[in-house]
Every structure is written in C-alpha cells, then in structure tokens.
Structure 1
Amino acid sequence: MWTVLIPALALLALGLTWGRELPVALVIVVALLLAGAVLAAVHHAEVIAHRVGEPFGSLVLAVAVTVIEVALIVSLMVSGGERTATLARDTVFAAVMITCNGIVGLSLLTVTLKRRIAVFNAEGTGKALATVATLTTLSLVLPTFTTSARGPAFSPAQLGFAAVVSLALYGLFVVTQTVRHRDYFLPVARTGGRSGPENGSSTQDGAPFEPDEHAPRPSGRTALTSLGLLLVALVSVVGLAKVESPVIELAVSSAGLPQAVVGVVIALLVLLPETIAAIRAARRDQVQISLNLALGSAMASIGLTIPAIAVASIWLDGPLLLGLGGTHLVLFALTAVVSTLTVVPGRATLMHSGVHLVLFAAFLFLAISP
C-alpha cells in the first residue's frame, strides 16, 4: 500500500508547502517524501512496462519525467529572470551527462560485475546514441558558434528552427523505436550463459525476449491505476524538487559554488526514477532496457525541452543562453566518442563502465570547480 500512500502524501505536502518558506524540520520531511515518491514512481513505471512491453515501458517513464521536467524549468525561468538565463542549458546538459555516463556507467557496472559481459542490441542503441548526439549538437553546441545573436544564444529564427527539428527528430525516433524497428530495442537473450574471453568462449546474442516473462502480466485496470499513480508521483517529485530549490540555491550560494550547480542538482533529482529503474533492469541482466531508459531520457530531455523553451521565450523577459562553454564542449565530445566505442560492438565490459563513470565524475567535479 505504500506505493499508493506515498504519492498521495507527497502530493498533499506539495499543496501545503508550495510557495512557502519552510523550517529545517519540514525541509527534511519534504526530502523524505520526495525520496518515497521517486521509489513509488519506479514501481508504477515497472508495472506499466510489464503490461505494455518494451520498448513502450521505457518510453512511458522517459516522456513522463521529461514533460514534467520541462514544466519545472519553464516555471523557474519565468520566476527567476536574468539569473536563470542558463538554467535550461545547465539542466539539459546535466541530463545528457547523467544519462549517457552516469546511468549507462552504473548499468554496465551492475551487469559486468555479475556476468562479465553486458550484451545489448547495437543497432537500436546506435540509433538512439546518434539521435542524442545530433540533438545535443544542434541545440547546445551550435549556439556557441552562431553569429546572428550576441553571446552563446540563438536568434529567434535559429531557435525556431532548432525547436522544429528537435521535435521532428524525436518523433521520428519514437516511430522507429515503437513501430518500424521495435525489435532493435528489445532485450537480447544469452545463449552461452556466463561466457567471454576469460574462459575461452564468446558471448552470443539470442532472440529478443520480453522482460519478466516469469511474472504474471498486470491487468488493464492495474496498469491504468499505476499510470495515474505514476503521474501523481512524478508531479510530486518535480514539484517537491521546486519546493526544495530555494534551499538548494541558498546552499549553493553559501558554499560559493557556481549557479550551474543548481541545474545539475535539479537534473539529478528529476532523473532519480529513471536511474533506479535502469539499475533494477540491469540487475535482471536486461541491459537493453537500461540503455533504452538512459538514451531515451537524454533524447526526450532535449527533444521536448528545446521546443517548450522556444515557445516560452516569447514571454520570458531575460536572455536565453543555450550555448555550451569550452569545458562542457570537451566533455560532450569525449562522451560522444566513448559512447560510440561502447555501443558499436554490442557488448561491454567492466572497462567500459569505468570509463563512463570517470567521465560522469569529471562532469560533477568540474561543475563544482570549473
């Protein structure tokens, strides 16, 4: 019953604390409800995923989290003025680094510690990675080099073009993932058990299989109930993250940290449900689901945020700075190269997970100490 009770309590707490300054005790209570709502969101997302099958289940969680994340970014930018000119860029780029290095690295680490070799479908994962790289370059890299507007920003026409192509490319990928080439995004079965170069044999891919075939499929009513509770939990997660954001901003300011750290912390909080879901899938040796969640979340974060920000910019008073700085450009380029080398073979080892996690650690360290 906690998966029903916690989202309801979190939503109630959101209504009672919205727009108010909280004492320390209530800040702690809100943080605990936020953590509980994250766990509840993961549970309900897995129920829906088991009902509709992959890759639809991964898509539900990625899109639901991202839609509400966009609402959070826009609301903070509307109320923050010029101080939040880089919030969209910081949050979206943090989401890309968290998903492509943090979630991917942890998922591969979980599988390779248990099975030595992580097996996944390189065709589907490669398409997702190519889409993420293209969206990131068009939306966050090009503004640094364009000359129509001052600073690392798009002109209105350029922003409109980036918004249209981002939405179109994301929509094309969704069709590819769910209709045209759905089998490319299904988990692959092992035919050789625990095998690899260490014991003289090679790991082979079997036929695609649906996750959790041993568990009974939830009824339609159960899935609809979980869908409603998932939305409640996600609204609570993002809303309570916004309630906690003044405390986060105060802590960042008091510690003398860059303003970009706020975007990183928000992205970490919002992506917690997907992180936990990805690691749980990896523990079941379903690394393809983990990669679907990670790259799908990065893709949705850009493909839905940039169009929303483009529309919201009509009412925003301050500037909208989307272009990445030199440090982030280097990190993104290195992430793109490393991710390509990880995906192309269709198999990954402990070394691959270590490289991704080091890149994620470098991103966090440089966010704190640029």
Structure 2
Amino acid sequence: MKYIRLVLINVAVFFGLLLILSIAAYFIEANRIKTFFTFTAPAQAVYFQPDSIAIFIHKPNIHLLDNWGTPEEKISTERRTNNLGFREDVDIVEKQPNEYRILVTGDSHTDGVLKHNTESFINIWEEKLNASDSIFQYNCMNGGSGFYTFRNYHGFLKKYTDLKPEVFLINVFTGNDFREAAIFEDDRTSVSNVYKSVWMRFRRKFQSSDQKAIPYNQGLEQTLFFESFPAEKERTMQLAQQYLLKIQEICKQENIRLIVTLLPSKLDVNPTFRKEVQTLHNLDDATMNINQELSKKLADFLSKENIEFFDLKPALQNATEKVYWDQDLHINENAHRIIGELLYEKVIF
C-alpha cells in the first residue's frame, strides 16, 4: 500500500511539474509573439513602425546600409524609404494628370535585398514602361515589407487607396506567406497557436548543425510546419482566400486592376538544392511538394475568381544565372530583373 501511495505521489509530482513547465512555456512564447508585434526590438525599431490598418509599415525617410553575405558572396545593401515609407528614392506627391500609378506590395522579397532601390523588379518595370510610352508617366511604387502576408496586403491597400492607383499588384511569396497567415491573426497567442510555435522552435533547436546551416525561413520552415500540422494547410489557405476576396472587392469599388504574382522559393526552383534539403531532413516527396501544392491551390482559386495572376516559377527555373542569395535565399538582382522584364512583357495596358 505504501509503495502504491509513493508511486501515486511521484506521478502527481511529475504531472504537476509538467503542468508548471507547460504554463511557463506558454507565457514565455506568447510574450515573445506579442513583443514581436510591438516593433520595439532594435533591429525592428529602426525600420518598422506599428500601424492600425496594415499592422506595420516602414518608417519614412530612412537610409540604412547593411553589410552581409557569405564569404563567397559579400555585398552591401541599401534600405532607403521615401516620405511614405515605400522602398523608393523619390517622394510621392499629388498625382499628376498623365500619371499612371501601379501600387505594389509583397513580403521581404519585394521589399528587396538589393544594393539600390532601382534594382527592384518594381523599378525595372517602371523604367521599361516609361521608355516605351510617351503618353503616360508610369509610377510603380514599391510598398513591399518584410514579414508581410495576406492580412497585411489587405490592410496596405486600405491604407493607401487614396493614392488612386490604376493597378494593385501583390507579389505572394509561396515559400512562407501561408505559414505566416495564421500568425498575423488576432488569436496569435491562443493555446493552439502558441503550442505550434513552441513545437517548431523545439524542432529547430534539435536539428543537426548541417540542417541548421540551411536558411530556414524562406521555404523550409513552412514545409516543416505543415508536415507537423497538416490540418493548418486548409486553415491558412482559407485566410489567404478570405483576404484576397476583400482586396478584390476594394479594387472593384475603386476601379483598380488587381494582379497577383506567385513567387516560389529556391526549394521549388532549384532541383539540386531541393534534393540536398530533402536528403538532409529525410523528407518524403509529399512533404517536399507542400509549397507547390499550396501554390497550385491558390492559383486555382485565383482562376476561379477571375483574378489576374502570373506564376513566376517558369521564368526563374529557366534562368541561366543564380537567382537567390546564398546567405538567406531571398531573390537577388538577377531575379528582380527577370521579374521586371516578365511583367513588362506580360501585363498589357
């Protein structure tokens, strides 16, 4: 009897400690998530500011220089914003009679990891349009921002509708926009969401050094997240579609042409890199196809809703030069040039 009682006490103590650890883990992770959205961390505070409509935007009139890259690929990149916080060198003023405005948003790939703003696909597109047309003055405005996802795209359009753009283009990064969609909802610190965040942090912590050497957030983390939580694919796709329908409605009301581009990750463009990651993480083909599966579902939805879109994957796959940075797997200046030229050729005005 004494033995049984001792066992029960030990079991109770074990589960009590487990409960305490679980509660502590919840509050630590929930606080980490909340803190992110205050944008007070030094790396955030110099570049971002909270916004009641778009959640956050770039600070206006900043000029930052970043030195980074791998030993074989060292570069200096410039982050310069104009009076509205857009990645443009020129301020946005009152719209001119012959001005044709194209408002662009997207995540960090659109924001641009580039030496100069002029290298972005948005500015390359603008330059080619103006070189070929003497009637309109095309003004392509880069409102892309790191961390943006579908809720931000909707809020961004609402915030800047008064700029009266003729076109609104969303550059959806299919490598992490779906994963991040749930994080940006108001229930981001629910028990379910925090548990998933803790699990992914735990999973990352116990990866091998070789696994950790692969940049994580530009395609791989989303793949591993949906491998761990497959039911989330449907939920995040619903969020994406929900916000795109809201965006479509605003565009109809304001007589704005809506265009979506689907930007793939390096995992879905470079077969050699894809095989390396698959082998290193011991992932099956179904898991490796998750991002492409989501991209296909979104493309089918866009077709069904008659939303104009372009899949950028074929153009990037056919490139003869490197199109992603080694350091963090963002698209490089070659990819921006290819995308800018594609938009010039494909988008007819």
* Larger radius of gyration between Structure 1 and Structure 2: 2
Point out which structure has higher relative CO (alpha carbons under 8 A, 6+ apart). 1
**TM-score between the two structures when normalised by the length of structure 1:** 0.27
Report the structure, 1 or 2, having the larger helix content: 1
**TM-score between the two structures when normalised by the length of structure 2:** 0.28
